[in-house]
Structure 1
């Protein structure tokens, strides 16, 4: 009897978490999957009899929708440019903070982490003034060196770059802390032995620091990639997908279709396309990691 109880004990501890996960994660996913095969709209919430099963029509329609195709291209652009910038800048900041005094490290750790916990609306207001084409600080600084004003949020391509700069600045804090913890966990004796052997800073960086923080780097890359595939807040509050749908992302497209236009079935179908993309990207990262370890 005691043996039976001891076997059940671990499951009793994890049961609340599993129940909450099932109710608030797995069940909504299953419901959304069912909705994606229907033409459910606002009327369908009040009258389920008006909801019709339409099979794969929503998915077929998605890949014939110019806005959705543009959203996929924009999301790919965000990922290809934003992920390397976010990971690299976070690592550089962490590396710099690991080589300064404790007082400076603690102070700037807070400074770099603050944007990560600041409300995105407040950030959007401040950066909106910075990006203002006529009165913004950035264009004022450019004017001091005789450079014409840049349409930061009024040109589709430049607007994407502007959002990436904002998102990288906002997201540096969390990744920086992970990198900093990984760097500080490397034994000092490794560096002391390398210095005795005549290694310079580049050798120590490439032969000791980077290999020793492989797992932290892998974790940051995977989480950053997933976050950028779901890029939503910045285009939503700064441009609402404009100009000319030049900054709309897949996540923003899902929000607009599902909650602004009340096409729940269509929005759910788009969310599952994004879901599959995220899963495939994550599996690819794990596959590459496995090959690297082998």
Structure 2
């Protein structure tokens, strides 16, 4: 088994997506990788139990990737051993009528995890600077003062929106939210193969939509905005990790291992101690229960 350093995949300087790998060899078979995943995710689930008891931190897990990059299945596998009360998953779709009556970050603020819990954003607040930059007419649905047409959406508008996102993350980090942001880096060829499998397997047909092919035609446009977004918003308190995603089992293991390795640095996360009164009365409490 080949060990890997999370810093290899953390974005600390400007990156070019086209130069980053979509596959990595950890020198493990698929079976070995899945065994390691089960081991690590069990430990991660135990860590969350302690974090819940400690009560001072929450964890925000943000996941982005092109269509078919494996977001849903990764979430299922990474968090499989969590206590159900300890993790809440939000899959953000197109904004509802109510959500459009608020600023673009409102629906993400109200979905943030409480202290002691993990919150999972499947697609995230970054959709507001990803899909909207490829399809800027979506911004018009937000009914923002001064934005009457696509021509009103200037570079200054996007700069302000990035500032708002960075400030949002800085605020929640300063108040105890540990932020992980993962981008699943899928190759165009692997996406083609996955779309074909959806067509060839009757049990997978329901996953396919003709819109998938329309979105695929915009591959290069999405790569540009993904790269720019990652470079603008990877910060020490909210780093991006670019994960090779052509092999789903490898990506799942890497994401889980990176989280566990980073969370273990929070050495103050410990189970709270009993009060002196309770410590001194443990024998009494045991005796009382034993008599029932």
TM-score greater than 0.5 by the shorter chain: no
* TM-score (normalizing by structure 1): 0.25
The structure that is helix-richer by fraction is: 1
Larger radius of gyration: 1
TM-score by length of 2: 0.25
Higher relative contact order (CA 8 A, sep 6+): 2
